[in-house]
Structure 1
């Protein structure tokens, strides 16, 4: 993975310590997982949408990074509508498929909840440099440096995997073996990428061990990771979003605590 683009790195959200972004994503996600209702998910989604204006992502970057979520959320909701638990008046029925008022409301709630949980997580971490995240995990959360640096090295390899996949496809086509059935081609190419990834991972692990990354001696960090006012403000905003979503659902009478 490469460093953030200048327009993203200079945004207000990108300058906040990644640990604060992680805390906000966890707070919002856990809150929305406590209830399945339209009101809490809608309120959280609207407030999160306002917060995303300070992420630094332009429209094209936003839609590209969140496109899988926009496809997955309606699919999850549609599945719930068609095959979820029936309750209320029957709206549509065909064979094993039945749509009732209850399943329709549940499907809408699931769709909104997936969006409200996924959007802040995707956008917040799209504005996070992997090295900054590793610095925060090691210095603020005090996680083992061996684990943190190993994870950082793996994240840095993602960009290379994309290049390797493209190069493998071109090489197979040049040898005349890239015209097989699409599923066969994907399977064989994925296996080749797996072998390449294992070899590269072994070499990388050996190199890191040789450079002392596996030592038990407490290590120093090149860049200090600070946690101050901007981080507290962002976490406070996350708490306000979670509290507003719960309060609105309780006042509207739609709060449905899943553990009851």
Structure 2
């Protein structure tokens, strides 16, 4: 409970925990789409304020969210650095060989950094407040119309639920393998970039081997219990839409309307 890993569920009592998983899935996808409509500092701050409000309602501390995002920080940093060094356009501040730092590159890197952070955080809010099986139930409900064109909805939702279920398990196992290699004298921070990547091989190989073993054991257990992917599925926990879900839907509409008002410069025209 001292860390929220992406994909893990935090069992606390909050308003977001009690919402219908269909509403939370809709809210997460809706928010991610709105992120790409933010075209200025004010629109970005407005969406960031909405995300912060959702994080407060989840009753999961901001520090815990950061500890869960931190393992993905290197991916974000590398992406931003590549955007800075290999983008062109605008005033050139520094240039060497094929690399350069330009005004447009700096602006685009900030946009990418912002989008990475808010999208990952919004997804973490969803997974931290919703059990993986409930997420699978919500996805199954949204994908029901696809059965008309013979899409294997049950198999898809099963794969998604298993993937979400084992994300924290795999990350925890990666940490254990890393600590075991450190106890044997491995220094992951020694050498240049290529040497550090090479040091990850003793971690990745046992991680992949254990993942395949776990998948085989899971498949054997499902066959032993008579699982048939083509049989009709039933659910022990039924989905129920409550008044709080309607209120949340209304808040998302308000968030969207104000976003496009700010985007269109309506507030600036009013102030003038």
Q: Give me the TM-score of the superposition, normalised by structure 2.
A: 0.72
Q: Give me the TM-score of the superposition, normalised by structure 1.
A: 0.75
Equivalence for 1:152 = 161
Equivalence for 1:97 = 100
Instruction: Write the distance in 1 (CA, Å) between the matches of 2:186 and 2:105.
Output: 45
Q: What pairs up with 1:161-240 in 2 under 5 angstroms? A: 161-162=170-171, 164-165=173-174, 168=177, 183-240=197-254
- Choose the corresponding residue for 2:53, options 26, 29, 50: 50
**Mean CA deviation greater in 106-115 or 50-59:** 106-115
**Conserved? CA contact 2:8–2:168, under 8 Å:** no
Shift of 1:169: 5.2
Instruction: Write the distance in 2 (CA, Å) between the matches of 1:212 and 1:38.
Output: 55
Distance change >3 Å, CA 108–CA 189, structure 1 → 2: closer
- Secondary structure of 2:265's counterpart equals helix
- Choose the corresponding residue for 1:112, options 96, 114, 136: 114
Distance change >3 Å, CA 137–CA 213, structure 1 → 2: farther
Runs of 5+ unmatched residues, structure 2: 145-151, 189-194
Distance change >3 Å, CA 106–CA 56, structure 1 → 2: same
Instruction: Write the distance in 1 (CA, Å) between the matches of 2:213 and 2:40.
Output: 48
**Per-residue Cα deviation, 1:114-152 (whole angstroms, up to 9, x for no partner):** 334333222232211112212223346437333323432
**Conserved? CA contact 1:13–1:55, under 8 Å:** yes
Shift of 1:36: 4.1
Instruction: Write the distance in 2 (CA, Å) between the matches of 1:170 and 1:76.
Output: 27
Shift of 1:24: 1.3
**Conserved? CA contact 1:18–1:136, under 8 Å:** yes
Equivalence for 1:20 = 23
Distance change >3 Å, CA 163–CA 226, structure 1 → 2: same
Instruction: Write the distance in 1 (CA, Å) between the matches of 2:28 and 2:117.
Output: 13
Instruction: Write the distance in 2 (CA, Å) between the matches of 1:230 and 1:54.
Output: 13
- Secondary structure of 1:157's counterpart equals helix
**Conserved? CA contact 1:40–1:245, under 8 Å:** yes
Q: Does 1:123 align with 2:125?
A: yes
**Conserved? CA contact 1:28–1:239, under 8 Å:** no
- Secondary structure of 2:226's counterpart equals coil
Shift of 1:166: 5.0
Shift of 1:11: 0.7
Shift of 1:52: 2.0
**Mean CA deviation greater in 161-170 or 12-21:** 161-170
- Secondary structure of 1:93's counterpart equals strand
Instruction: Write the distance in 1 (CA, Å) between the matches of 2:65 and 2:159.
Output: 29
Aligned length: 248
Shift of 1:73: 5.6
Equivalence for 1:257 = none
**Conserved? CA contact 1:29–1:117, under 8 Å:** yes
Runs of 5+ unmatched residues, structure 1: 255-260
Distance change >3 Å, CA 45–CA 68, structure 1 → 2: farther
